[in-house]
Amino acid sequence: MRKLSMDALGRKSLAQFKAAQKQPIMVILDNIRSMHNVGSVFRTADGFLLEGIVLCGFTPQPPHRDIQKTALGATESVDWWYVQNTLDAVMDLKSKGYKVYAVEQTEGSIMLSNFNTNFTEPIALVFGNEVEGVASDVIAASDGCIEIPQEGMKHSFNISVAAGIVLWEMVRANQSKS
C-alpha cells in the first residue's frame, strides 16, 4: 500500500469547485469564538462540497491568518457571507425554502442516527457558540434540533468536531440515495 500523490487525488481546481453541483446544505455559525474552529468548518465545507457558510454575530471572518491556518484556502472555494444577527440569517434561509436545524441538545431533539435525510428541501444547520451553544431564539425559530448521540461524561464536542460528524452523516445519507 502506498500513499496517494496530490495528482492522484483528482482535486478540483477552484473553477471546477465553483461550477460543481453542491450538496444542498448550508452551515450557519452562531457566534463562534475560535478562528481555528471557523477555519476547520470552512475546510470541512470544502471537503463535502457544501453550498456555503453564513458567519453570524461575533464569528470571525476571513481573511485572517488564524482562520487560514486551518482552512488551508477553503475560504476561497466555499461561498460565505456575514449576517450580524443569526436569527435574521435563519429567517432568510427559511424564506428561500431551507429547513433549518440547530445542532443542540434540547427537549425533543432528534438523534442524528434517527434524522430523516430525504433532502426534499435544502437544509441549513446551525452550530453554536463553544460555551453557550445555539442561541435560544435561534432554536425557537428552527424547524427542529439534531443531537449527536454521546455516552461519555462531557456530553459536548468541539464545534469543528460536531460539524464534521453531522455534515458527514448528512452527505453520506444523501450520497447513498444517488
19 burial (CB, 10 Å; 0-12 / 13-18 / 19+) is: exposed
88 pLDDT higher than 90: yes
Tell me, what's the pLDDT at 174?
A: 78
The three three-digit cell numbers of residue 150, written as one number: 454521546
CB atoms under 10 Å from CB of 75, counted, come to 21
Is residue 7 a part of any domain in this protein?
no
Give the pairing type, strands 23-30 and 144-147.
unpaired
Give the domain range for residue 142: 21-148+155-176
Predicted TM-score (pTM) of the model is 0.95
Q: Say what the pLDDT of residue 178 is.
A: 60
Nearest residue to 34 via CA among 130, 102, 138, 128: 130
Give the mean model confidence (pLDDT) for residues 5-21.
Answer: 92
pLDDT digits (tens, 9 = 90+) for 124-154: 999 999 999 999 999 999 999 999 999 999 8
Residue 134 lies in a domain: yes
Give the strand order in the sheet containing 123-128: 80-83, 50-56, 23-30, 123-128, 99-103, 144-147, 110-111
- Does 137 reside within a domain? yes
Tens of pLDDT, residue by residue over 38-63, are 999 999 999 999 999 999 999 999 99
